[in-house]
Structure 1
Amino acid sequence: MDSNELRRAFRDFFVERGHTPVPSASLIPFDRTVLFTVAGMVPFKRYFLGEEPAPYPRATSIQKCMRAGGKHNDLDQIGQTLRHLTFFEMLGNFSFGDYFKEQAIPYAWELVTNVLGLEPDRLWVTVHTSDDEAAAIWRDAIGVDPARIQRLEEDNWWQMGDTGPCGPCSEIYYDKGSEYGADGGPAYGSDERFLEIWNLVFMQFDQQSDGDLVPLPKPCIDTGAGLERIVPILQGRPSVFETDLVYPILQEAESLTGRTYGVEHRQDVGLRIIADHSRAMTFLLADGVVPTNEGRGYVLRRIIRRLVLRSQLLGARHEVVERLVNGVIATMGEAYPELIDRRERILELGIREEARFEQTLTIGAPILETAITSGKVTGDVAFRLHDTFGVPIELTTEIAADRGVDVDLDGFHNAMAQQRHRSRQAGLGDEATSEQATGALWVLETLGKTEFLGYEVEEAVGEIQFVEQEPAGLALYLDRTPFYPEGGGQVGDTGWISAEGFRAKVVNTDQPVQGVVRHWIEVVEGEPVVGTSLELVVDRGRRARIRANHTATHLLQWALREVLGEHVAQQGSLVAPERLRFDFTHWSALTVEEIERVEQLIMEQVVTAATVVTEIKDKEAAVNEGAIAFFGDQYQDVVRVVHAGTHSVELCGGTHVGSLGEIGLFKVVSEGSIGANTRRIEAVTQLAALDAVHRLERQLDTIEKILPGGREALAERVENLAMRHRELETQLATMRQEELRSLVRNIWAQHPSRALIERLDGLSAQELRFVALELRNRTEAEVVVLASVLDAKVALVATVADPTVLNASEVLAPLAQAVGGRVGPQRELALSGGRQVDQLDQALEELRKGFDSQR
């Protein structure tokens, strides 16, 4: 049975037993507590937590998963074992309070033994020490030999967090045979011999903060079966790397490196890493992750660079990414056709990252080799490789370890801590805690979702269902509302609510729990009372500006893809009444011509005044028909599809204009970088765009008054003025250098000495450095130490003629310490500074005495 047949057999088995087939979600999860989708249950987490009722009682899926970074990280084990992968597929069947152990266990056994044909006498079962019920089902209902049922503690207990849903689990293991290690079953035998292929999680308790386990009213089933672990058994292969899923990619790695798998352990590890990372890289790029210096992008960057470096260490002499990506697509494209559809984007980003790394590696590799040859990689070297040459510390440590050399990790981390502009720590944002969403959860569980009317109307009548006093203010929950809750980048609506004797301003609207709208209010008159019927009025003018900016954002996404390419994907957005902000994947600044072309394309759509059409569709059907879905966003199974003009089609729950003509004028006001391969555009529409044009006009008027002569030649006059300014600056700098050289001659004439120690106030740090070098190079001075006070700050410099005799940093250190500064390790020229001006003269005098005493 090949992998495609296994997928079909698994899906068909559970569909025939009433499970709804659910397509794989993205590797970028809606759940912000994890970096990637790490298990098959992640897309269903909100159902297990009770945040939202499940749309089906039972489901089955084949979910793409990634465990590389964050709390779930298998990167360091890749290649070292025969069973670990970063990217893998999880076969799953799920029950949301429908069936429990008495059905889940027989389902698992029937599929494993009857459908897949695994020999029962090679299967072992583990259960939790407390789970007599599951043990009895395995023994009595299934007929498993009690000697093959083992009890484990932590390994057979699952929990979602410190509190919340949890319960025992039961696992099925396959005995690969004595050639893979010691006997004794999963509890006592070899990990390589006894391979876990199936895990049944019995979610039956709610763990309280005090440790108590409260039975759940509707216990659930969460099953995870590793596709890559089952396939080797079915195909009679010894590892996950030698099946139809991975071996074709490993063979590509053999061809690129000239190495043969199975000959030598160290090169086998490298080939396995290349094969694994090729799959991970391809699927992450396909799902919208781009290489950056933080979060998911950093993990992807590390994977690509580790792949490239391992390839080179094994002998690859040419670029490897293109062939490896194509190998993955050829192997996995039938099961995941999006790989074929996104091939161009995957290759473009992957090849670009490879080229970028190879440029820095040309300089970085010799530095690392020199350090390894010396027998120790210092923290400074490791930091320089990481910060300057883009070699992740994990790679440095890994390569050094291969050669038996240690890396000074403490020194590396100290250097990182001292770096003023280090990369921001990866963060996934703040997630509302269960305490913060208590009111919304109660409303959802007790009264149901809020009926949202805002697509059709901006005024309505609604009834107060719940009033909650939060630290942030007073919040109301209504049975129905026209107020749009903040989400999908669009800000929440504001407006007014009122009843007889009560009036309040709605200052924001959000959605703490899916489907429940919360209205933040400032009371003007009276008090809100549950059961009161209210008149609800959205701020129409503000809503109109938001709608225009939101629809314009859709047009902007389309236009950017037209001008820059299909690799453009949204990385974040803000839709506010006064402006719109759009973050997207791209590797270089947009030219003036590209920005103008984007604006032109958008305005060509706007002037058609085409009707904006919204459809309600099945999500999978909408995506298959070409609608853009933003990876990482959370979508329901039934979605709103927004057609903005003849080209833009997106899944979107926001509010939009009725006609493109309502956008009016569209104008980009800024474009810039917010991180590696990520750009940001800010733009305005309607009257805000006109205001932006007026501001530009006023600026031009001001410039024209200063440089009269007509608008047509204004740019030429400004350019001439700038050129003249540069010429004068050059002349001034030349004159200043001549003044400083005259100062050098005067100092030497008045104080000819081998140790020149002078205070020259009014000189900048750069000028002080120039004078010091001139004194050293044009005189007989062996050491020059200069100080200058400018704007209440001290600048210091020391330079020596022969760094083998004197060390500039050691000379300057006491002086720097006296004025509150520090000195880096520089032998020939050292710089420092400080703010303790009152200590300068005494410190200079002590330094002079020290040199006088050495004569």
Structure 2
Amino acid sequence: MRAGELRRAFSSFWAERGHEVRASASLIPHEPSLLFTVAGMVPFMPYFLGEEVPPSRRMTTIQKCVRAGGKHNDLDDIGRTNRHFTFFEMMGNFSFGDYFKAEAVPWAWEFVTEVLGLEPEKLWITVHVSDDEAAEIWRDSVGIPAERIQRLDKDNWWAAGDIGPCGPCSEIFYDLGPEHGGDGGPALGGEDRFIEVWNLVFMQFANDGTGELTPLDAPGIDTGAGLERILAVLQGVPSAWDIDLFAPLLAEAERICGKSYGADSETDVSMRIFADHARATAMLISDGVFPSNEDRGYVLRRIIRRAVRHAWVLGVEEVVMPRLTDIVVDVMGDHYTDLRTNREFISDVVGREEERFRTTLAAGQRILDEAIAKLEGGADGPVLDGSVAFLLHDTHGFPVEVTEEILAERGISLDGAGFAAEMEAQRQRARAGRAGGPTFADERYREILAQFGPTEFIRDASAVSEARVLAAFEIDSAAIEPALLADADEAHGYAYVEVYLDRTPFYAESGGQIGDVGTINGSAGSVEVLDCTYALADLHRHIGRVRGGGVEVGSLVEAQIDDVRRAAIRRNHTGTHILHWALREVLGQHVKQAGSLVAPDRLRFDFSHYDAVTPEQLREIERLANAEIIANGRCRHYETSMDDAQSIGAIAFFGDKYGDVVRVLEAGEHSVELCGGTHVAALGDIGHLRIVSESSIGSNMRRIEAMSGLATVERLADVEDLLGGLAELVNAPADELAGAVRRRLDETKELRRQVRDLQRALASGRATELAEAATDGVVIADLGDLERDALRDLAVSVRDHDGIRAVVLASAPSGGGVALVAAVDPAGTLSAADLLRDAARTVGGGFGAKGDPPLVMAGGRDPEGIGAALDQVRAAALGA
């Protein structure tokens, strides 16, 4: 029976007994305490723990499993035993409070003996020392001789943890025969002779943490049957390494090494590691795990590098892992169809990782060999100083695990304490210099870029139907530009993420062009992309709010930009190039672009120029630009070498970085510039270019704001509406508006002059009144809304009356703010500046009088403070 036949037979058997057949869950578990799915029951933990209601009380699966990290770590035993694998398939049938021991035990026996055809006389049974019930069922219901039922303690007890469900186990073992080890059954015989092929977990108790066991109201069944181990028995091969799932991989390993499997024990170990690690690598990458320096990504990296090092030791210089993962796809792709879909992706990821590590390995191996050559033997054998291992790890990226493996093969120990001390010292240095050093985010982004290479930008498409999610990180809304967030976001409580794809139609903000917006849609949900930027050079970061379940790492999604918005951006961006050309034509070739912003509704262009641009020059610049646009010249946007670009006179555009290969934009007949942005196909697509403003932004630096396309149409409509409204206000036809407004302004000017004259006349009449109300020769008054000039004239008139030492007046003019004036007798003892200094601050203002003039004017912003300000003046002038 081959692997595919066994899978079908197992699923059919349990389906006939009322079990819902479930496809394998991902190797990335939802259980946060686990790096990987390590057993068939892991996806069903919420059902066993009572956290969720199962959709069916009977289920069966063939579950992908990996044990290579945390407490479930078989990595170091791979290739050296017949029982351990990094990746394996666990067949299981499960009961959630439905059937129990009385049904599960006979069914297990029926499948093993009748479906698989294993000889009953070669099967042994183990039960827990306390489980009389299971022993009785095996003996009395199934008919197993008592002498073939053995009782074990810890090996036959399962627990989810210190607290939670637990229970006894019962296992079926197959006896391979005396040539594989000593007799005595699974309890006393050889491990390679008695092979476990079935494990029944009877989940019947709850542990409260003290050791007190309480029977569960709904006990359950959890079966684990290792597909690889059963195949070894069914196919009659010496070990699981010889089954049909491994044979093609070992044959490829022979071709890679140029050696025969079985000729040398150490070479056999390396070949088995190739086969095992290729399976784990292909499965993990297909499920969305990528090599990295963290968590499960680090375990995958270690798996790949471990296989590569064994190839290195065997003298294999070419890249081997993509060849091996291709065989995995061929062997297992019929059942795990995602492997075939992801074949090229898996090969690309593992190939990049291997190439990087081979460079590291070459440099590190030389350093390690030199250090080993200098070692001297000690009482416990030679020991490599921890500082050497740290140097390899920190400076050369040589994993300490690889160092330890190499040392172990040569009978050398590592000074682990010394290595740990060096690592701690490095952490201290990192903490001390963190403010100016690279951030964690930088490292994370560099890791993505190193693993997958640059994001493939699909320049000429508005959608990519099969983009793969390489990574996704939740971020705080505080990290997003406030302008990108809607007013309702905070109330809704959206989650925000940054997403990384292998290919994308989204333009990442650069060269002045803002990033695209749109959506990323997958089977689990979607992300509304609010912006796209570069996390690092060539690595597109899609920033957005989560809709539904978001997107899953490793999944295929559709990436769709807002194409209407992109079209407007294209018009403005190409318009920027035409504007640059026109500026140089009108103002001179000294004009250089010094910055830009290209948005859907406008463009901004900063340039070097020594003087303000006159209205006549602006008109000519706009005329030239639009004449070029109307001519509708073709736009060519292409890649070429920097040398070729320079030879045709291409101008470098601000904000872009250039390598040996550059993108050139030939916009019409005259503009040739380097630019990586997005552009129209012909200049006529721009529509009409309209300059909105021109201003200074610094010494010899100017800024033009402009717009194109539909924005100019909308602006024209707005201007016409405005002109029509103004014409209506002044009661004149629109074509006579300028003359009518001029007449109204002249009338207003004349009326204001008359008002000032009347105010002065009135103020002159009030001067005597104010003087007569003086206290000790001081006049202090609030005169309402009197204008500044009239207020000053009145203060002088009051001061010129006999006996007046000082006059301080305040008002809140109709134009806004506060006016203060102080006039003092030049021969007196009071100072106008001293009287107003604190008062001016109280109304939110000040004055700029130098020295101590007899008349001081001050202004302020806060009319509410006039009363308090005048009280301060009284205190200063009168002492009260």
Structure 2: distance between partners of 1:561 and 1:116: 54
1:456-467 → structure 2 map (5 Å cutoff):
none
Secondary structure of 2:205's match?
Answer: strand
Structure 1: distance between partners of 2:512 and 2:140: 72
Amino acid of the structure 1 residue aligned with 2:397:
G
Structure 2: distance between partners of 1:167 and 1:230: 24
Amino acid of the structure 2 residue aligned with 1:572:
F
Structure 2: distance between partners of 1:60 and 1:317: 44
Structure 1: distance between partners of 2:101 and 2:27: 29
In the other structure, the counterpart of 1:408 is: 415
> Residues 20 and 58 of structure 1 are in contact (CA less than 8 Å); yes or no, is this contact kept in structure 2?
yes
1:418 equivalent in alignment to 2:425: yes
1:583-625 Cα offsets, whole Å, 9 max, x none, are 445689999669799988755xxxxxxxxxxxxxxxxxxxxxx
Structure 1: distance between partners of 2:37 and 2:513: 34
In the other structure, the counterpart of 2:74 is: 74
Structure 1: distance between partners of 2:87 and 2:426: 33
Change (3 A) 1:678 1:719: closer
Deviation at 1:679, TM superposition (A): 5.9
Change (3 A) 1:184 1:677: farther
> Residues 364 and 396 of structure 2 are in contact (CA less than 8 Å); yes or no, is this contact kept in structure 1?
yes
In the other structure, the counterpart of 1:211 is: 211
Structure 1: distance between partners of 2:152 and 2:283: 35
Structure 2: distance between partners of 1:405 and 1:361: 19
In the other structure, the counterpart of 1:6 is: 6
Amino acid of the structure 1 residue aligned with 2:417:
D
In the other structure, the counterpart of 1:278 is: 278
> Residues 707 and 717 of structure 1 are in contact (CA less than 8 Å); yes or no, is this contact kept in structure 2?
no
In the other structure, the counterpart of 2:638 is: none
Structure 1: distance between partners of 2:512 and 2:102: 63
1:514-525 → structure 2 map (5 Å cutoff):
none
1:149-182 Cα offsets, whole Å, 9 max, x none, are 1111111110001101000011111111111111
Structure 2: distance between partners of 1:561 and 1:331: 37
Structure 2: distance between partners of 1:420 and 1:583: 28
Change (3 A) 1:118 1:695: same
1:66-92 Cα offsets, whole Å, 9 max, x none, are 000122110011011012101000000
In the other structure, the counterpart of 1:393 is: 400
1:545-624 → structure 2 map (5 Å cutoff):
566-573=467-474, 581-584=496-499
Structure 2: distance between partners of 1:146 and 1:583: 62
1:200 equivalent in alignment to 2:200: yes
In the other structure, the counterpart of 1:129 is: 129
TM-score, normalising length: structure 2: 0.55
Structure 1: distance between partners of 2:161 and 2:335: 33
Amino acid of the structure 2 residue aligned with 1:388:
T
1:651 equivalent in alignment to 2:523: yes
Secondary structure of 2:68's match?
Answer: coil
1:414-472 Cα offsets, whole Å, 9 max, x none, are 22222238999xxxxxxxxxxxxxxxxxxxxxxxxxxxxxxxxxxxxxxxxxxxxxxxx
Structure 2: distance between partners of 1:562 and 1:396: 47
Structure 2: distance between partners of 1:561 and 1:399: 51
1:212-241 Cα offsets, whole Å, 9 max, x none, are 101100000011100000001000011111
Structure 2: distance between partners of 1:183 and 1:706: 98
Amino acid of the structure 1 residue aligned with 2:398:
V
Structure 2: distance between partners of 1:105 and 1:708: 93
In the other structure, the counterpart of 2:249 is: 249
> Residues 467 and 501 of structure 2 are in contact (CA less than 8 Å); yes or no, is this contact kept in structure 1?
no
Secondary structure of 1:420's match?
Answer: helix
1:341-380 → structure 2 map (5 Å cutoff):
341-375=341-375, 376-380=383-387
1:708-787 → structure 2 map (5 Å cutoff):
none
Structure 2: distance between partners of 1:698 and 1:205: 69
Secondary structure of 2:396's match?
Answer: coil
1:120 equivalent in alignment to 2:129: no
1:498-550 Cα offsets, whole Å, 9 max, x none, are xxxxxxxxxxxxxxxxxxxxxxxxxxxxxxxxxxxxxxxxxxxxxxxxxxxxx
Identity %: 49
Amino acid of the structure 2 residue aligned with 1:420:
R
Structure 2: distance between partners of 1:37 and 1:200: 19
Of 570-579 and 243-252, the range deviating more from structure 2? 570-579
Of 694-703 and 315-324, the range deviating more from structure 2? 694-703
Change (3 A) 1:695 1:216: same
Structure 2: distance between partners of 1:707 and 1:63: 74
> Residues 672 and 680 of structure 1 are in contact (CA less than 8 Å); yes or no, is this contact kept in structure 2?
no
In the other structure, the counterpart of 1:836 is: none
1:173-188 → structure 2 map (5 Å cutoff):
173-188=173-188
Structure 1: distance between partners of 2:248 and 2:307: 16
Total equivalences in the alignment: 537
1:256-295 → structure 2 map (5 Å cutoff):
256-295=256-295
Structure 1: distance between partners of 2:597 and 2:81: 62
Deviation at 1:581, TM superposition (A): 4.5
Structure 1: distance between partners of 2:137 and 2:598: 77
1:45 equivalent in alignment to 2:45: yes
1:672 equivalent in alignment to 2:535: yes
Change (3 A) 1:589 1:305: farther
Amino acid of the structure 2 residue aligned with 1:196:
E
Amino acid of the structure 2 residue aligned with 1:383:
F
1:262-286 Cα offsets, whole Å, 9 max, x none, are 1121111111111100101110111
> Residues 589 and 671 of structure 1 are in contact (CA less than 8 Å); yes or no, is this contact kept in structure 2?
no
1:152 equivalent in alignment to 2:53: no
1:699-735 Cα offsets, whole Å, 9 max, x none, are 97999999977999xx999969x9xxxxxxxxxxxxx
Structure 1: distance between partners of 2:462 and 2:170: 48
Structure 2: distance between partners of 1:96 and 1:298: 35
Deviation at 1:333, TM superposition (A): 1.1
Change (3 A) 1:667 1:421: farther
Structure 2: distance between partners of 1:378 and 1:293: 24
- Where in structure 2 are there 5+ consecutive unaligned residues? 376-382, 432-456, 478-484, 490-494, 547-560, 569-595, 623-649, 658-880
Change (3 A) 1:678 1:558: closer
Structure 2: distance between partners of 1:701 and 1:601: 20
1:87 equivalent in alignment to 2:63: no
Of 88-97 and 167-176, the range deviating more from structure 2? 167-176
Deviation at 1:388, TM superposition (A): 2.8
Deviation at 1:396, TM superposition (A): 1.2
Structure 2: distance between partners of 1:155 and 1:366: 45
Amino acid of the structure 2 residue aligned with 1:130:
S
> Residues 590 and 671 of structure 1 are in contact (CA less than 8 Å); yes or no, is this contact kept in structure 2?
no
Change (3 A) 1:590 1:683: farther
Amino acid of the structure 1 residue aligned with 2:408:
A
> Residues 63 and 89 of structure 1 are in contact (CA less than 8 Å); yes or no, is this contact kept in structure 2?
yes
Structure 1: distance between partners of 2:393 and 2:104: 49
Report which of the two structures shows the higher radius of gyration computed on alpha carbons: 2
Change (3 A) 1:677 1:703: closer
Amino acid of the structure 1 residue aligned with 2:131:
D
Amino acid of the structure 2 residue aligned with 1:299:
V
Structure 2: distance between partners of 1:332 and 1:574: 37
Structure 2: distance between partners of 1:337 and 1:559: 31
1:36 equivalent in alignment to 2:36: yes
Change (3 A) 1:6 1:582: same
Change (3 A) 1:581 1:385: farther
Amino acid of the structure 2 residue aligned with 1:405:
I
> Residues 174 and 194 of structure 1 are in contact (CA less than 8 Å); yes or no, is this contact kept in structure 2?
yes
- Where in structure 1 are there 5+ consecutive unaligned residues? 425-555, 604-643, 657-662, 723-855
